[in-house]
Amino acid sequence: MERREKSPQQIRQVLIFFVCLGGSLVCSENWRFSVAEETETGSFIANVVKDVGSGVEDLAARRARVIFDDYKPYLWLDQQTGNLLLNEQLDREALCDFTEPCVLHFQVLLENPLQFFRAELWVRDINDHTPTFLDKDILLKIQEGTAPGTSFQMESAQDLDVGKNGVQNYTLSPNPHFHLKLEDTDKGRKYPELVLVQSLDREKEPELRLTLTALDGGSPPRSGTAVVRVLVLDINDNAPEFQSPLYEVQIPENSPLDSLVVKVSATDLDTGINGELSYSFSHISRDIRKTFEIHPVSGEVHLKALLDFELIQSYMINIQAIDGGSLTGKSTILIRVLDVNDNPPEIVITSLTSPIPENSSPEMVVAVFGVRDQDSEDNGKMVCSIQDNLPFLLKPTFKNFYTLVTERPLDRETRTEYNITITVTDLGTPRLKTEHNITVLVSDVNDNAPAFTQTSYTLFVRENNSPALHIGSVSATDRDAGANAQVTYSLLPPQDPQLPLASLVSINADNGQLFALRALDYEALRVLEFGVGAVDRGSPALSSRALVRVLVLDANDNSPFVLYPLQNGSAPCTELVPRAAEPGYLVSKVVAVDGDSGQNAWLSYQLLKATEPGLFSVWAHNGEVRTARLLSERDAAKHRLLVLVKDNGEPPLSASVTLHVLLVDGFSQPYLPLPEAAADAAQADPLTVYLVIALASVSSLFLFSVLAFVAVKLCRRNRAAWMSGSSVPEGHFPGHLVDVSSTGTLSQNYQYEVCLGGGAGTREFKFLKPVIPNFPPLNTEREESHIFLNGFGFN
């Protein structure tokens, strides 16, 4: 097989132009190759390396391939050598029927850059078919007395080959009555006619048998035969005549079976059997015989098979009317098939790239596909489109080929895949369309940093926790995929370099779980703030951070601590209560604090044990010890009270304190230590004795100073009273009882008025009931606490 030489009509100036559509190059020059039908598969056709204009190594790199117009793989291109090889045996008759020349159009496609080369493959006919008669037994009726020279048309033989390989000649067996005459049709085909040489005599020879042979022009020639039976009839001197020599008919290709195409009519002037007509087709091909039929009596032509405009656009049918004497009248029917839009467009994807990276540059080629419609005119014109609001564009390239390209950068986090529907619609009526779906995946690049679910996290952990306790978690998500979305957590260096963060908490690098490495103490550390970071595994890696605030919750791990009265092992403090005190008289106040906070530091007071139950009571909320009833002479002078101080924690913790109360008559009785205190003092060590002596000396000196000061005041008041007529001078001795607890259980200051009677034989103090309470400002709390302690002899 070699390339066919260009025809003289193609000897003209070669016009080369470049069509730049989507980066593709199309050459206008057609390549022409030829091959004989029935050639073995794999046979060499041509080498296209020189025609392509690039080296053999570029063919594979540019994915060179062959695409026929009907998308059938008749040839294949060896990318290693550039040879065009036959992919299958070709049958010219199946491909082109009687069309001559038989030309198959195809393109050679190269990518990167996209380039097309148009080419033609001419399939040469070989003599592989024998002429055959459709009717092996031909019946010919001839009236006797027919004049010599009369010709009788015979059915032509059918040969699927074309050109010189088709039917070229006919021969007739020797006989005295007929010789053979060949006639040419308007399409260049030959058909035989029997010409009467000698008149027939039915009485001598009523029937003749002749052998008709058809020969083609192949080498060697092939032949086919048929038997012609000639029946001699009576004389019939009038031949039928049709009303029109040409019938023109148009019929849509979608007409149903048995549809009436046309009705023909002929007349014969003879009468009787010689005037009876029979209609039939004459010199028709197999396609016409399979598609149409004519009623022999009525002359109606009906549709026998479905029409297809895309295969055959018109039919030329020769018809004849034969009377009873075998005289014939001839006419022709021209049937034009009208195209209807019965073929939807076709889509063939030739190249598809998926997935594509999300940072792809615009106009990246995603797919290459071709479209076609077998209809004609508007029915075959097509419009190609895709959905709106997609970052893709369709660009026409060559002939009916399109490329699908990106219009703008993609974002995988917004959309991971695109289902693109390619819609091809023709312009026929009604419009037909074809849809083809392709899925384009978007691959990920690391363009998103991890994002925490919260900018700051607040966690709670109760103090005295067990080591390695899980206290909470942080979580960050990355919108990327794969390794780009795998997040690793870590603790960030604290702003305070002195903070031992690594010894306090740790974080699981994989899931962000936080753990307390050791027990925390609310009283030592109430709030712990630190930063955590999240880093993905992309390249380059991206990170983010969040703030974690750990609040240590208080636990009830501190018992109440009694500030007053002090329980330090020294001589107990004795409270003096006048027997004239009324119920509710304030004896003393138990002052206590708790190192915890919240309800764990809410203190309540309870009288556990008393020398005389019912005589004293303790207020539960402020620890004030008051008399519960009037005192009498029968009440013992010495009382010992055991007060329980309990917090509100779970479980509650408590402390106890002992109060010693001495009942006196208007402070006239000297203060006597309790026997228990005297016994304890006697057993104290010498250092305690020295301390007691020193404390007693200081107290005595202080008491003497107070008495002297009071005496001077009283003397001045007596003088003033004598001058004013007053009988009883009074002196004021202020005193303060102040709450020193941070809990504020004692909320008021009580001022007592102490009066020393000037006319008495002995000096005595009398407690009177408190006057209006005085509310000091809070900022004097510490100063008053100091005065309160000093008032009881504490430094």
Read off the pLDDT of each residue in 185-193 and give the average, rounded to a whole number: 76
Give the model's pLDDT for residue 24: 42
Q: How many CB atoms lie within 10 A of CB 682?
A: 8
Read off the pLDDT of each residue in 422-435 and give the average, rounded to a whole number: 90
Give the model's pLDDT for residue 686: 60
Percent of the chain at pLDDT > 90 equals 29
- Kind of pairing between the strands at 476-477 and 451-452: antiparallel
| Contact of 602 with 556, CB cutoff 8 Å | no
Reported as half-sphere exposure (CB side, CA atoms, 13 A), residue 27 has a value of 16
Q: How many CB atoms lie within 10 A of CB 744?
A: 10
* pLDDT band, very low/low/confident/very high, at 305 (cuts 50, 70, 90): very high
| CB contact set of 374 (below 8 Å; sequence gap of 6+) | 310, 343, 380
Read off the pLDDT of each residue in 522-550 and give the average, rounded to a whole number: 91
| Contact of 129 with 159, CB cutoff 8 Å | yes
192-234 pLDDT, tens digit per residue, is 889 999 888 877 888 899 998 888 878 888 888 899 999 887 6
362-420 pLDDT, tens digit per residue, is 888 999 999 998 888 888 889 999 998 899 999 998 888 999 999 888 888 888 899 99
Instruction: Report the C-alpha gap between 159 and 216 in whole angstroms.
Output: 8
* pLDDT band, very low/low/confident/very high, at 514 (cuts 50, 70, 90): very high
Give the model's pLDDT for residue 669: 44
Cα–chain-centroid distance for residue 742?
A: 61
| Contact of 597 with 554, CB cutoff 8 Å | yes
Read off the pLDDT of each residue in 654-662 and give the average, rounded to a whole number: 90
Give the model's pLDDT for residue 358: 85
- Look at 229-243, 280-294, 297-311, 745-759 and tell me which has the smallest mean pLDDT: 745-759
Read off the pLDDT of each residue in 490-514 and give the average, rounded to a whole number: 90
Instruction: Report the C-alpha gap between 338 and 309 in whole angstroms.
Output: 7
Percent of the chain at pLDDT > 70 equals 82
Give the model's pLDDT for residue 749: 38
Q: Is the predicted pLDDT of residue 720 greater than 70, yes or no?
A: no
Rounded to two decimals, what is the model's pTM?
A: 0.42
Instruction: Report the C-alpha gap between 194 and 138 in whole angstroms.
Output: 12
Read off the pLDDT of each residue in 435-457 and give the average, rounded to a whole number: 91
Give the model's pLDDT for residue 187: 67
Q: Is the predicted pLDDT of residue 779 greater than 70, yes or no?
A: no
- Look at 370-384, 441-455, 565-579 and tell me which has the smallest mean pLDDT: 565-579
Rg (CA), the chain: 64
Give the model's pLDDT for residue 293: 95
* Mean pLDDT score across all residues of the chain: 79
Q: Is the predicted pLDDT of residue 3 greater than 70, yes or no?
A: no
* β strands within 148-222, DSSP E: 151-153, 167-172, 178-184, 190-196, 207-216
Give the model's pLDDT for residue 402: 93
Read off the pLDDT of each residue in 146-162 and give the average, rounded to a whole number: 83
| CB contact set of 145 (below 8 Å; sequence gap of 6+) | 199, 200, 235
Q: Is the predicted pLDDT of residue 788 greater than 60, yes or no?
A: no
DSSP letters spanning 253-286: TTPPTT-EEEE--EE-S--GGGG--EEEEES--H
Give the model's pLDDT for residue 81: 80
Question: What six digits make up the tokens of 28?
Answer: 């206008």
* pLDDT band, very low/low/confident/very high, at 680 (cuts 50, 70, 90): very low
Read off the pLDDT of each residue in 153-165 and give the average, rounded to a whole number: 79
38-47 pLDDT, tens digit per residue, is 788 878 888 8
| Top-confidence residue, 510 or 74 | 510
| CB contact set of 141 (below 8 Å; sequence gap of 6+) | 230, 231, 232, 233, 325, 326
